[in-house]
């Protein structure tokens, strides 16, 4: 049942329970995020952080049972397939498709037509993440930071209402992590996207008010 | 009963076209094709299976033929396994460069029948290797003229101990086992884990070959159960290769069963069926025995025992105990492709050889007469091509459908199940296909052939895709969905382009399997449709050496072209270089 908050919330996640075959991972969790807000989830390995993000996106493996609801801008989306939820994902592995150029990777996230508009969108997105000169490059030749920025640009091009970040900075060195984090959080705030960040790094939560700590099952 | 017509004289007589040879070949063709319609009532024989089994046990040739089948099958399987393990212990596919692995498709492309025919042309008493030996002995010819005026009297092919058959099977099954092993080793997750374990073993003082036997082999062997079972079943029940290069009196049980199944007498046909079931029983019993021995973890079977304990240290440095296996492996890596090249070369020049009396090393004249004859039989070529392309396309489509529609957690079961057709004796599989086509009303028709080839090709295509599919990151599909793209868009734009190389290779493997099909073509086609393989097997009993070699070359060239095409199609995409250098910009993003 949607609550009265749903009218305001970009993302409302209610978890009655999240169960793996061997344990109950999460119980009685309620996260309400207005547009442009960030929420961090921390906890030890195996506590269900990534499973929680998968439940929001609809990519849970069949062995894990989710009981709860997900609302995006007041619309219940947990009954919809992943591609209709408008919730984008960013993993710690950027998952750029290896057979595509950087530009083609970004084009994948844009509606196929009108063609001219999508090219312009991609060019602008590349420009925003300072990868304009790498449009036709092999993703494998990019540095870690460049790949993370390309993955972010691709996720944002899908114009999501919410963004799930699964330890997205874990593979970057400290200095690069700080800069990339600032870029991602800035993009989330500017675009008014609700975002949930799963992290082990206390530095990630420095600027975030909303934090949930999960316990080991 | 149809007498088996075989001749070791095909290379003993230089030319071709003499009347006696033509008669022999005509008889052989007749024995191959004419009596096929009698297969139809094989299962409705008035003789019960119990009677047929009793009749089989009392047959004078049964026990020697069974012993030959068991010996040749076991020897070929164990030697191929040992050789493959030695080759893999060099680090092939795991530690060494991948260029050596690129030779595998070329070896897989050469069908068993073509390889066997090439070996006959090489090893027969008047074969090229003997001619080479005689040429080397030429300086001493005056001292021993009685030795050099005729081919030696030994049986180097179709020998009574099936050594030639074992040799061909070992050479052909090593690439198959390597292919099965590399499908496992080249999965990124498995490769990373094993490489890390090898590094740990190295830090503990183990040399690479010892570490491989102790760390990799115990983990790899259980994963190779499927390919091993397929090799064992094939080696035990092979008909076409055993017919060409196997012993003749008695032949192996599979050849004997094949002859009995073609007999006009229902009781003899029932006896043939009993022999086929006996082969199935042997396949299952030996496989079960091997499994029990493996589970019992007998000391002498444990790789740790072979590798002789912990690393020994001499003068402060670890001593490698297992360099010999890697050394054998390195020699095999060089020798095996060389053997294939030699076989292919002897087939090529055999196909263009004119008069070639013994003991001349090279033919007296060259002619393209055989090739003109081959190209003249466009129907054979067309049947082979369309069957190969249509059945492989069908098998690939069905395999993709299975992989996409069946949940990933069931894929391991699917891959295990796909080994079952490979574990059946070839004759039983062919009889089953024939029964299916009769039930569908498709026997002796092109539709029936297409179905039989598609079903025979499907397991190989599916198994070719096993490694690449397992290596796919499932998060790619989740990511695509989170970007709002449909499953179809993900398959079309991401997954299948990523698997382009694997799909092309699977198609080439499937085509090679279809081209090599002998029994299904013969049984289901009712002898009405000829392919390059059925022609080559039929010609093997005759004396037209150059025509036989030309068909064998064609049998090899067709899949080789597809493998070459697969290599071209599967090439990694070349990307443009970035138009600017990476900025160490004021915003500091790198």
ipTM at complex level: 0.84
Mark whether B419 and B457 lie in a shared domain.
Answer: yes
Range of the domain at A188: 4-95+159-213
User: Is B426 part of a structural domain of the chain?
Assistant: yes
Q: Which of B488, B503, B579, B590 to mutate to test the interface with A (most CBs of A within 10 A)?
A: B590
Query: Cα–Cα distance between A130 and B587 in angstroms, integer?
Result: 9
Structure tokens at B117: 């025919």
Mark whether B375 and B263 lie in a shared domain.
Answer: no
CB contact under 8 A, A158 and B494: no
Collect all residues of chain A within an 8 Å Cβ-Cβ radius of residue B482. 57, 59, 82-83, 85, 87-89, 155, 158, 160, 164
Q: Quick one: closest CA in B to A60, which residue?
A: B478
Query: Cα–Cα distance between B88 and B82 in angstroms, integer?
Result: 10
Query: Cα–Cα distance between B590 and A177 in angstroms, integer?
Result: 11
pLDDT value for B185: 82
Q: Which of B484, B501, B574 to mutate to test the interface with A (most CBs of A within 10 A)?
A: B484
pLDDT value for B134: 82
Mark whether B338 and B481 lie in a shared domain.
Answer: no
* Residue A171 burial (10 A CB sphere; 0-12, 13-18, 19+): middle
CB contact under 8 A, B481 and A145: no
Q: Residues of B at the A interface (Cβ-Cβ below 8 Å)?
A: 407, 409, 473, 475-476, 478-486, 493-494, 497-498, 500, 573, 575-580, 582-583, 585, 587-590
CB contact under 8 A, B475 and A180: no
Is B370 a residue whose pLDDT tops 70?
yes
Collect all residues of chain A within an 8 Å Cβ-Cβ radius of residue B575. 101, 136-138, 141
Q: Does A55 touch chain B (CB under 8 A)?
A: no
B43-56 pLDDT, tens per residue?
A: 555 567 777 777 88
Using DSSP's 3-state secondary structure scheme, residue B47 falls into coil
Range of the domain at B70: 55-138+154-309+326-367
A103-156 pLDDT, tens per residue?
A: 999 999 888 777 778 889 999 999 988 898 899 999 989 988 899 999 999 999
Mark whether B406 and B337 lie in a shared domain.
Answer: no
User: Is B293 part of a structural domain of the chain?
Assistant: yes
Please give the angle made by the CA atoms of B503, B505 and B507, to the nearest 5 degrees.
70
Among the partner-chain residues A83, A95, A157, the one whose CB lies closest to the CB of B486 is: A83
Of B128, B100, B169, which Cα lies nearest the Cα of B334? Answer: B100
Collect all residues of chain B within an 8 Å Cβ-Cβ radius of residue A166. none
Query: Cα–Cα distance between A145 and B534 in angstroms, integer?
Result: 60
Total structural domains within chain A: 1
Query: In which element (H, E) is residue B318 found?
Result: strand B317-319
CA A62 to chain centre: 21
> What are the CA-CA distances from residue A110 to residues A50, A131, B9, B262, B577 (Å)?
26, 17, 71, 64, 24
Q: In degrees to the nearest 10, what's the CA dihedral of B574, B579, B584, B590?
A: -30
Among the partner-chain residues A84, A154, A179, the one whose CB lies closest to the CB of B589 is: A179
User: Is A116 part of a structural domain of the chain?
Assistant: no
Query: Cα–Cα distance between B485 and B559 in angstroms, integer?
Result: 37
CB contact under 8 A, B482 and A93: no
User: Is A168 part of a structural domain of the chain?
Assistant: yes
Mark whether B300 and B391 lie in a shared domain.
Answer: no
Mark whether B346 and B423 lie in a shared domain.
Answer: no
pLDDT value for A104: 92
Confidence of residue B32 (pLDDT cuts 50, 70, 90): very low
Residues 6+ apart with CB under 8 A from A161: A10, A11, A72, A73, A86, A87, A193, A194
- Determine which of B180-189, B394-403, B422-431, B497-506 has the lowest per-residue pLDDT on average: B180-189
Q: Which of B410, B468, B479 to mutate to test the interface with A (most CBs of A within 10 A)?
A: B479
CB contact under 8 A, A108 and B500: no
The sheet carrying A210-213 orders its strands as A87-91, A162-166, A194-198, A38-42, A210-213
| CA atoms in the 13 A half-sphere facing the CB of B212 | 25
CATH number of the domain to which B423 belongs: 1.10.3720.10
User: Is A119 part of a structural domain of the chain?
Assistant: no
List all residues of chain A from 100 to 119 with a beta carbon under 8 Å from chain B. Answer: 100-101, 108-109
Of A204, A199, A217, which Cα lies nearest the Cα of A42? Answer: A199
CB contact under 8 A, A97 and B473: no
Question: Is the pTM here over 0.90, yes or no?
Answer: no
Collect all residues of chain B within an 8 Å Cβ-Cβ radius of residue A141. 575, 578
CB contact under 8 A, B483 and A155: yes
Q: Does A183 touch chain B (CB under 8 A)?
A: yes
User: Is A127 part of a structural domain of the chain?
Assistant: no
Q: Quick one: closest CA in A to B570, which residue?
A: A99
Collect all residues of chain B within an 8 Å Cβ-Cβ radius of residue A160. 482
* Residue B378 burial (10 A CB sphere; 0-12, 13-18, 19+): exposed
Q: What is the 3-state secondary structure (H, E, C) of chain A?
A: CCCHHHHCCCEEEEEEEEECCCCEEEEEEEEEECCCCEEEEECCCCCCHHHHHHHHHCCCCCCCEEEEEEEECCEECCCCCHHHCCEEEEECCCCCCCCCCHHHHHHCCCCCCCHHHHHHHHHHHHHHCCCHHHCCCCHHHCCHHHHHHHHHHHHHHCCCCEEEEECCCCCCCHHHHHHHHHHHHHHHHHHCCEEEEECCCHHHHCCCCEEEECCCC
CATH number of the domain to which A183 belongs: 3.40.50.300
> What are the CA-CA distances from residue A7 to residues A69, A192, B148 (Å)?
15, 15, 101
User: Is A106 part of a structural domain of the chain?
Assistant: no
Domain-terminating residue out of B335, B352, B367? B367
pLDDT value for B281: 94
Of B100, B85, B94, B96, which Cα lies nearest the Cα of B191? Answer: B94
User: Is B36 part of a structural domain of the chain?
Assistant: no
Mark whether B553 and B499 lie in a shared domain.
Answer: yes
What's the mean pLDDT when you consider all of chain B?
81
Q: Report the gap between the CA of A134 and the closest CA in chain B (Å).
A: 5
Of B404, B575, B419, B574, which Cα lies nearest the Cα of B503? Answer: B404
Confidence of residue B2 (pLDDT cuts 50, 70, 90): very low
Using DSSP's 3-state secondary structure scheme, residue B353 falls into strand
Mark whether B380 and B298 lie in a shared domain.
Answer: no
Collect all residues of chain A within an 8 Å Cβ-Cβ radius of residue B499. none
Of B429, B454, B433, B456, which Cα lies nearest the Cα of B443? Answer: B433
Mark whether B75 and B172 lie in a shared domain.
Answer: yes
Mark whether B294 and B431 lie in a shared domain.
Answer: no
CB contact under 8 A, A89 and B573: no
B239-263 pLDDT, tens per residue?
A: 999 999 999 888 999 999 999 988 8
B408-445 pLDDT, tens per residue?
A: 778 888 888 888 888 888 899 998 999 899 999 998 89
User: Is B69 part of a structural domain of the chain?
Assistant: yes
Is B25 a residue whose pLDDT tops 80?
no
Q: Report the gap between the CA of B410 and the closest CA in chain A (Å).
A: 13
Structure tokens at B84: 């493959």
Mark whether B213 and B247 lie in a shared domain.
Answer: yes
pLDDT value for B99: 65
Is B457 a residue whose pLDDT tops 90?
yes
Radius of gyration of chain B (CA): 26
pLDDT value for A5: 45
What percentage of chain B has pLDDT greater than the value 70? 82
Total structural domains within chain B: 2
* Mean pLDDT of the region B135-143: 72
CB contact under 8 A, B482 and A57: yes
CB contact under 8 A, B476 and A97: yes
Q: Does A87 touch chain B (CB under 8 A)?
A: yes
User: Is B17 part of a structural domain of the chain?
Assistant: no
Collect all residues of chain A within an 8 Å Cβ-Cβ radius of residue B589. 129-130, 145-146, 149, 179-180, 183
CB contact under 8 A, B588 and A183: no
CB contact under 8 A, B484 and A86: yes
Residue B313 is classified by DSSP as: E
Mark whether B347 and B463 lie in a shared domain.
Answer: no
User: Is A109 part of a structural domain of the chain?
Assistant: no
CB contact under 8 A, B483 and A109: yes
Among the partner-chain residues B475, B484, B577, the one whose CB lies closest to the CB of A158 is: B484
B433-468: b (≥16 Cβ within 10 Å) or e = bbbbbbeeebbbbeebbbbbbbbbbbbbbbbbbbbb
């Amino acid at each position: 049942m949607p609550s009265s908050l749903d009218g305001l919330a970009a993302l409302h996640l209610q978890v009655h329970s999240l169960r793996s075959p061997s344990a109950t991972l999460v119980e009685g969790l309620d996260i309400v995020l207005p547009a442009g807000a960030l929420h961090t989830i921390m906890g030890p390995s195996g506590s269900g952080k990534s499973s929680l993000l998968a439940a929001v996106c609809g990519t849970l493996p069949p062995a894990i049972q989710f009981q709860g609801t997900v609302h995006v801008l007041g619309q219940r989306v947990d009954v919809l397939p992943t591609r209709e939820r408008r919730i984008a994902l960013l993993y710690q592995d950027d998952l750029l498709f290896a057979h595509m150029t950087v530009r083609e990777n970004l084009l994948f996230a844009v509606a196929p037509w009108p063609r001219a508009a999508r090219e312009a969108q991609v060019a602008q997105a590349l420009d925003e993440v300072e990868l304009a000169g790498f449009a036709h490059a092999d993703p494998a030749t990019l540095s870690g930071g460049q790949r993370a920025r390309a993955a972010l640009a691709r996720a944002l091009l899908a114009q999501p209402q919410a963004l799930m970040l699964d330890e997205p900075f874990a593979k970057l060195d400290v200095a690069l992590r700080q800069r990339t984090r600032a870029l991602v959080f800035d993009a989330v705030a500017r675009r008014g996207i609700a975002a949930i960040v799963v992290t082990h790094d206390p530095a990630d939560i420095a600027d975030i008010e909303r934090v949930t700590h999960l316990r080991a099952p | 009963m149809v007498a088996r017509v075989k001749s070791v004289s095909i290379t003993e007589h230089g030319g071709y076209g003499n009347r006696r040879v033509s008669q022999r070949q005509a008889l052989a063709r007749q024995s191959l094709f004419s009596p096929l319609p009698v297969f139809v009532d094989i299962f409705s024989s008035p003789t019960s299976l119990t009677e047929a089994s009793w009749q089989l046990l009392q047959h004078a040739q049964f026990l020697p033929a069974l012993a030959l089948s068991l010996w040749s099958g076991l020897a070929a399987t164990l030697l191929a396994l040992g050789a493959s393990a030695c080759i893999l212990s060099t680090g092939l596919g795991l530690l060494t460069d991948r260029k050596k692995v690129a030779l595998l498709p070329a070896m897989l492309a050469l069908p068993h029948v073509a390889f066997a025919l090439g070996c006959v042309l090489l090893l027969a008493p008047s074969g090229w290797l003997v001619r080479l030996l005689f040429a080397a002995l030429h300086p001493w010819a005056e001292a021993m003229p009685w030795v050099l005026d005729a081919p030696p009297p030994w049986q180097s092919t179709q020998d009574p101990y099936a050594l030639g058959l074992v040799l061909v099977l070992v050479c052909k099954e090593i690439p198959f086992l390597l292919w099965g092993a590399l499908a496992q080793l080249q999965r990124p997750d498995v490769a990373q884990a094993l490489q890390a374990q090898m590094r740990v073993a190295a830090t503990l003082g183990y040399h690479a070959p010892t570490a491989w036997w102790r760390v990799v082999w115990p983990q790899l062997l259980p994963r190779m159960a499927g390919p091993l079972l397929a090799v064992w079943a094939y080696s035990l029940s092979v008909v076409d290769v055993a017919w060409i290069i196997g012993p003749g009196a008695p032949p192996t049980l599979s050849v004997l069963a094949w002859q009995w199944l073609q007999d006009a007498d229902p009781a003899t046909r029932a006896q043939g069926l009993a022999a086929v079931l006996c082969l199935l029983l042997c396949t299952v019993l030996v496989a079960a025995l091997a499994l029990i021995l493996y589970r019992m973890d007998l000391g002498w079977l444990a790789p740790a025992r072979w590798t002789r304990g912990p690393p020994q240290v001499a003068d402060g440095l670890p001593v490698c105990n297992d360099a010999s296996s890697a050394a054998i492996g390195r020699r095999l890596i060089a020798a095996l492709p060389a053997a294939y090249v030699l076989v292919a070369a002897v087939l090529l020049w055999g196909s263009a050889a004119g008069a070639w009396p013994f003991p001349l090393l090279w033919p007296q004249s060259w002619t393209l007469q055989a090739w003109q004859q081959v190209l003249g039989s466009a129907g054979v070529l067309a049947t082979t091509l369309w069957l190969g392309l249509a059945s492989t396309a069908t098998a690939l489509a069905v395999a993709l459908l299975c992989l996409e529609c069946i949940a990933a957690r069931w894929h391991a079961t699917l891959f295990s199940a796909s080994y079952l057709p490979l574990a059946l004796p070839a004759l039983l599989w062919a009889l089953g296909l024939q029964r299916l086509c009769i039930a569908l009303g498709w026997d002796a028709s092109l539709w029936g052939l297409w179905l039989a080839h598609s079903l025979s090709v499907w397991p190989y295509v599916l198994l070719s895709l096993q490694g690449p599919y397992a290596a796919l990151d499932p998060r790619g599909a989740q990511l695509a969905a989170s970007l709002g793209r449909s499953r179809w868009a993900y398959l079309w734009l991401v997954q299948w382009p990523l698997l382009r190389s694997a799909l092309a290779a699977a198609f080439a493997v499937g085509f090679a399997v279809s081209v090599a099909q002998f029994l299904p073509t013969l049984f289901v086609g009712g002898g009405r449709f000829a392919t390059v393989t059925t022609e080559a097997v039929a010609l093997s009993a005759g004396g037209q050496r150059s025509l036989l070699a030309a068909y064998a070359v064609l049998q090899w060239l067709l899949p080789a072209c597809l493998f070459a095409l697969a290599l071209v199609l599967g090439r990694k995409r070349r990307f443009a270089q970035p138009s600017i250098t990476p900025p160490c910009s004021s915003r500091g993003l790198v």
